[in-house]
A = this chain, B = another copy of it.
Amino acid sequence: MRWFFLRFSFTRKRTSICEEGGVVHEVVERILKASIEEFSEKGYAAASTNSIAKKAKVSKGLLFHYFKSKENLYIECYKHVLSWSKKKFEEFAKQVKNEDFFEFIKKWGLQKITLAIENPVYSKFLLTVTNLSPKLRAIVLGLIREALLDSREILLEKIKSVKLRRGISEEDALKFITAVFDGVANSYLDQYRDKPEELLNNLERIMVESDKLMDLIKFGILDREPQQLHREV
């Protein structure tokens, strides 16, 4: 598995580690890799900074020199994984920029599943947010919201080309679609988390199911008479 090291900045007031040069970069990267593994394996509370230092082959002192606290270390890990996932989305958006809105969404859903399978440690790490203290969770949820802003921009731009029913805003439609696709992607991941190869073998079936899902999103589930067509919400 390849490890991506993208952008790195502290939330607290202090010099960014990036500015300290290449050698430090390498050490910090090693600590992050080890931390993400440890957190995803044990969750936040049970993760041990002792094992992280050991895995990263650094002293515990150096670890705390760079990251100050376990909490801060966790936050930096989250930023790292989010910026990886942001980069992935941007690469994807460039690749499929000529597809229509619905194809774009469908393919991104599929891409998310594939990424989660190729990076089981990352996707498991992202799940650790459910067992945090209220304070730490609030910080992390803030980071997630921020990370989603850019992709929302791209999607809102794309959805403008879709002729929506009267009374449905682009925001509403987007919220609906992402909720449906997130829900379904999560249920696939739950189902296959421990047998990823099976999921990869079933991608074709999942594509067919996605088409069905998209049809439900576009046209709803109800049979309706022509006079109901332009029913106001």
Contacts and interface: CB of A to CB of B under 8 A. Distances in A.
Interface in A135-165: 137-138, 141, 162-165
Contacts of A184: 179
A1 interface: no
Most B C-beta atoms less than 10 A away, residue of A166, A193, A219? A219
A124 to B, nearest CB: 8
Interface residues of A, number: 49
A138 B173 CA distance: 35
A184 B176 CA distance: 9
A217 B220 contact: yes
Interface string A209-222: 00011011111111
A94 interface: no
A65 to B, nearest CB: 26
Interface string A36-62: 000000110110000000000000000
- For the complex of A and B, 9 pairs with smallest distance between CB atoms: A220-B220, A183-B183, A46-B46, A134-B194, A179-B183, A219-B220, A45-B46, A218-B222, A43-B43
21 contacts: A43-B43, A127-B130, A131-B131, A137-B193, A138-B194, A162-B221, A163-B223, A164-B222, A165-B222, A168-B221, A177-B221, A179-B187, A180-B180, A182-B183, A183-B183, A183-B186, A218-B220, A219-B222, A219-B228, A219-B231, A220-B220
